[in-house]
Amino acid sequence: MAHAQQKMLVYFTDKGNDAITQLQHPENFLSQASIERRLICNTAFDLLDVPVSKDYIASLQSSQCIVLSTSKWLNAALISTSFDNIHTLLSLPFVAGIQGWDEYQIPVKHITATQSVYNYGSATAQTTMLNLDKIHDQGFTGNNILISVCDGGFNNVNTLGCFQYVRSNNRIKATRDFVTDDGDVYADDMHGEEVFSILAAKVDGGIIGSGFDANFLLARTENVNSETHAEEYNWVRASEWADSMGARIIQSSLGYNDFDAGINYAQSDMNGRIAIITQGAVIATRKGIVIVNSAGNEGDKPFRKITAPSDADSILCVGSVNTAQNRVSNSGQGPSADGRIKPDVMAVGGGTAYYNNTNTIAFGTGTSFASPIIAGFCACLMQKYKYVTNIELINAVKRSADRYSTPDTFYGYGIPNALIADTILANLSKGRGIYINTNSFESIIKNSIVDDGSLKLLLPVSEAFDAQIFNVSGAQVMQCKVPNSNEIQITGLSSGMYYLKINGYFAGKFIKQ
């Protein structure tokens, strides 16, 4: 008897015969913002950037499979096929393995969770606790930092008054539904809308979000009517999309350990390597993205621990405190299964002010509400120190926290302080030649064609330095040691845009006419 169609994740052995050739032209599958982020973070292009082989997809389709989607980071395809077809698929030379999961079945409840320039209204306590208002007052509000928000839906974000500032200033750059691929993230669950309001709302005297001037991608990855491994896979695909769009931060108020089919993660699996979503978070970090994820709300339940992907290394796992700075009892506990400090930092997740999907201010509990506060915190610092790496920023946030010298498994490193993080990053940026805190490096670089047709760059630096120039594909086209001078004279460059590094750190870009 034939079996019904089932969803399976097919892993491939490699990226196909033309993978190396494709890797030489990353501009064909990555945005310029994504390429620029890699240069800032000294992140090499690798085969994880290359799309899944089209030949392998075609072979699956000719083997009685419906290919639903692909993940270049996992090097896998989500397919629908008969269970009887598994042995045929495993016999294909490019198939490394197959992972199955059940269809959506049992509905699951979702968790609901000094005078400043700005009147934060109901959000005053959650903002001032971190001294984030002081960074806002300096003019750093997340401007031009692209944040991808992964959640279960963003109900009415396209109409609610609290998001009028976001819409009027064209801050939402793209949306995508990875659950049903219907393209409408605004008709789905309200949890993402609530989370997003903590980050992006701007209503004077109502709620001022933690990073209200940032740019945003909205990705629906969670099906709130179920809990399956498919949602982890959706998150990985959304992170690949965010990477290709040039996102600097991924904000995620999601966590996974228990599933409808009973194929659950144990505490021992929270080791930064096992969960599908954790694997994706680790890769995203390697690509230079800051991952900010909620610690999960298992702290007062039998599981007790943080949930995936917060077990990933080198991300910010955010636990929750109340406005009196006391830990909320359901905030996920550490350490990770391999002994690392978790959570990383804490923010208000008990009595957090947010806008619900009727544009009314409400107060909620859950680490879901703490995470977006920290995402905005990171965006504001990233705006000020645009060319620090993701790891440098994460470490500065942790070092700024009030328990950094005595971390534990309940508070992690504690509550971060934006002013201390600001000082850490300012000191870190010293010695990087021409590190510039302006929105337009191009206004600093003066270029002019000299008589022999070469290009001369006049730079605001007088000491000797090492210079590297890269093309838009991220390939180095020039390297030189510049003596005690403030100019580089360049020959042999064709017209186009180029990136400049000084002493190994990203410094900006310029255009050769």
| Region 266-273 average pLDDT | 97
The confidence score (pLDDT) of residue 336 equals 98
The confidence score (pLDDT) of residue 3 equals 56
List b or e across 42-57, with b for residues whose CB sees 16 or more CB atoms inside 10 angstroms.
ebebeeebbbbbeebb
User: Cα–Cα distance between 102 and 91 in angstroms, integer?
Assistant: 23
Average pLDDT, the chain: 88
Confidence band of 447 (pLDDT split at 50, 70, 90): low
User: Exposed/middle/buried for 204, CB within 10 Å: 0-12, 13-18, 19+?
Assistant: exposed
Highest mean pLDDT among 4-18, 66-80, 469-483: 66-80
User: Cα–Cα distance between 323 and 365 in angstroms, integer?
Assistant: 11
The confidence score (pLDDT) of residue 108 equals 27
| Region 319-328 average pLDDT | 98
CA angle in degrees (0–180, nearest 5) for 54-56-58: 70
Say if residue 476's pLDDT is above 70: yes
More confident residue, 344 or 3: 344
Break the chain into its structural domains and give their ranges.
5-100, 124-429, 441-512
CATH of 5-100, one of 3.10.20.310, 3.30.70.80, 3.40.640.10, 3.10.20.30: 3.30.70.80
Say if residue 230's pLDDT is above 70: yes
The confidence score (pLDDT) of residue 201 equals 98
**Nearest 5°: phi and psi at 440?**
-130, 95
Confidence band of 467 (pLDDT split at 50, 70, 90): confident
Give pLDDT tens digits for 273-297.
999 999 999 999 999 999 999 999 9
| Region 189-202 average pLDDT | 97
Confidence band of 304 (pLDDT split at 50, 70, 90): very high
| Region 18-30 average pLDDT | 91
**Whole-number percent of the chain with pLDDT over 70:** 89
Lowest mean pLDDT of 71-75, 101-105, 340-344, name the range: 101-105
DSSP secondary structure letters along 458-504: E-S--S-EEEEEE-TTS-EEEEEEE-S-SEEEE-SPPSEEEEEEETT
Q: Which CATH architecture has domain 441-512?
A: Sandwich (2.60)
The confidence score (pLDDT) of residue 387 equals 81
The CATH number of the domain covering residues in 124-429: 3.40.50.200
**Whole-number percent of the chain with pLDDT over 90:** 68
